[in-house]
Amino acid sequence: MNVSVMQENLARGLQTVSRAVSSRATLPVLANVLLKTENGGLKLTATNLEIGINCWVPGKVAEEGEITVPAKLLTDLVASLPNQRIDLALSPKDRTLKLTCGNNRSSIKGIEADEFPVVAAIGETPATSVDARVLREALGEVVFAAASDESRPILTGVLTKLSGDQMTLAAADNYRIAVRTVTVDKPVSPEVTIVVPGRSYAELVRVLPDTEAPIEITVTPNKSQVLFHVEGIDLVSRLIEGQFPNYEPVIPTSHTSRAVIDREAFLAGTRRASIFARDSANIVKIELGADGGQASGVSITAHAADVGDNADSVEAAIEGSPTAIAFNARYLIDVLSNLGAEEAALELSGPLAPGVIRGIGKDDYVHVIMPVRTAS
């Protein structure tokens, strides 16, 4: 192998694929990145066996070849080099990758490429595509609601349903549900339903470019893997087997009280209350109207017997009867931090019914939070 690339491009590519490098590799080669000449450039690949990332770096190939080298070592080295041309040459006899950049000469011992797991680009026709910026926002509003507890693996995933011109993303643990719908570029028929690990989607958000470029979505015929492709980057993820719970009956279809609140003000008040709530099971109390605060506002309070009290009142447009409810502060902060709207609507039907948060002007998103039962 003999190839020349620019330091800036190689550094960016290594930063991208390093997201998939195994941090606790059971096989030494999983801590490596695969370098392979392909299509007149350099292809970088890393995998932890759950996700794999391919990234293509433009370059000039003088001789074909491939090798795997320690990902962290190569990434740190390239990041430290000046923004000049880097020449990479492989010595097949001792599996050593030699790098030359300006006045620097380095050599890195590698492992044969044959030992690296195959992270193949799926050769199927893409099911559809969606605007990368839209998908990034949608995933940001949903992925955080997926469970982190592995006791029910299906809940650590995000239900992804492609039907017609709609893509529905849904995540749930035992305490909340987040659902977002986006429009895809090409209608899908018949319907495709898969469950993608939340961790895979979190990594996809990190590698997605902040552009309107279309991201292609391809599912293998046996529904074991999904591939996302955009602008020189592939992310391949395994899929979670099993039946995702039917969440739709849990989403309230009516309410007795509704408050429209500035999202930033609601978030700031909840964060202040959460400082006190840390010492009281992380519980914050929300009151719409009534005596908890301004008659036309929302009161956010927290009480910790050994610490003290905190209260905020936020202006809001309120409809319906006065209502009080308690939530886990972290769940409120999560949704308000990620909601892509300036104003939030909080819909309630009493202290023991699930609460619903929607973005004003966003008919494509709904978030449900289960209440916390309190003594008073």
Task: Judge whether 2-115 and 252-369 match in fold.
Answer: yes
- Write down the pLDDT at residue 294: 44
Quote the pLDDT of residue 194.
96
Residue 139 near residue 57, CB atoms below 8 Å: no
Assigned superfamily of 252-369 = DNA Polymerase III, subunit A, domain 2 (3.10.150.10)
How is 105-127 classified by DSSP, letter by letter? EEEEE-B-GGGSPP-PPP-SPPS
pLDDT of residue 37: 95
Which stretch of DSSP H or E encloses residue 50?
none
Phi, psi of 330 (to 5 degrees): -60, -40
Q: How far apart are CA 35 and CA 108, in angstroms?
A: 13
Burial (0-12, 13-18, 19+ Cβ within 10 Å), 304: middle
CB burial readout 120-150, b (16+ within 10 A) else e: eebeeebbbbbbbebbbbbbbbbbbbbbeee
We find that the CATH architecture of domain 128-248 is Roll (3.10)
2-115, what's its fold? DNA Polymerase III; Chain A, domain 2 (3.10.150)
pTM (two decimals): 0.91
Q: Which helix (H) or strand (E) holds 204?
A: helix 198-207
- The full set of domain ranges for the chain reads 2-115, 128-248, 252-369
pLDDT of res. 98: 96
Q: Which two tokens stand for residue 93?
A: 């006899």
Written as tens digits, the pLDDT of the chain (376 aa) is 999 999 999 999 999 999 899 877 788 999 999 999 998 999 999 999 999 999 999 999 999 999 999 999 999 999 999 999 999 999 878 899 999 999 999 999 999 999 999 886 666 788 899 999 999 999 999 999 999 988 899 999 999 999 999 999 999 998 999 999 999 999 999 999 999 999 999 999 998 877 888 999 999 888 889 999 988 899 999 999 999 999 999 999 999 999 999 999 999 999 999 999 988 889 999 999 854 444 568 999 998 888 889 999 999 999 999 999 999 999 999 999 999 999 999 999 999 999 999 999 999 999 999 999 886 5
The pLDDT value recorded for residue 122 is 63
Extract the tokens encoding 68.
Answer: 């795997």
**Distance from C-alpha of 190 to C-alpha of 188, rounded to nearest angstrom:** 6
Rg of the chain in Å (alpha carbons): 25
